[in-house]
Amino acid sequence: MEERITPWSGHDLVKDRLRTTVWTQLKVQGAAVGEPVGHIPRFVGNDCAAAQLALLSVWQQARVIKCNPDHAQAPVRLRALQEDKMLYMAVPRLTEER
């Protein structure tokens, strides 16, 4: 896969190459749900990953969770709320009321 320009491109060439490698592998392996380039994509098994995370003692002991707003982490956010954990989440690019 050729390197594509994203909002993060050009700041760090090593990271640019790494992102391209990861996005390529996500596509080749069929692990991404949808187009992976340019963001953190949903991936096959993200619900299973969230279930495994919930088995960790650090998760079980946590009362407060900070999670990214990416679609890939939706099952983590849902589980946190279902378990009555306080959830903090950044809202980048959501600076105006919708």
Rounded to whole angstroms, the Cα distance separating 60 from 91 reads: 25
Whether residues 87 and 59 fall in one domain: yes
Identify the pLDDT of residue 63. 98
CB atoms near residue 75 (< 10 Å) = 19
What's the chain's Rg over C-alpha atoms?
16
Whether residues 9 and 30 fall in one domain: yes
The pTM score is: 0.74
The predicted-structure confidence for 62-92, as pLDDT tens digits, reads as follows: 999 999 888 899 999 999 999 999 999 887 7
Question: Sorting pLDDT into bands at 50, 70 and 90, what band is 6?
Answer: confident
Identify the pLDDT of residue 38. 84
How many structural domains are present in the chain? 2
Whether residues 32 and 54 fall in one domain: no
**Would the pLDDT of 98 be above 60?**
no
Whether residues 61 and 22 fall in one domain: no
Amino acid at 63: R
Rounded to whole angstroms, the Cα distance separating 11 from 23 reads: 18
Q: Which domain holds residue 4?
A: 1-38
What's the chain's average pLDDT? 88
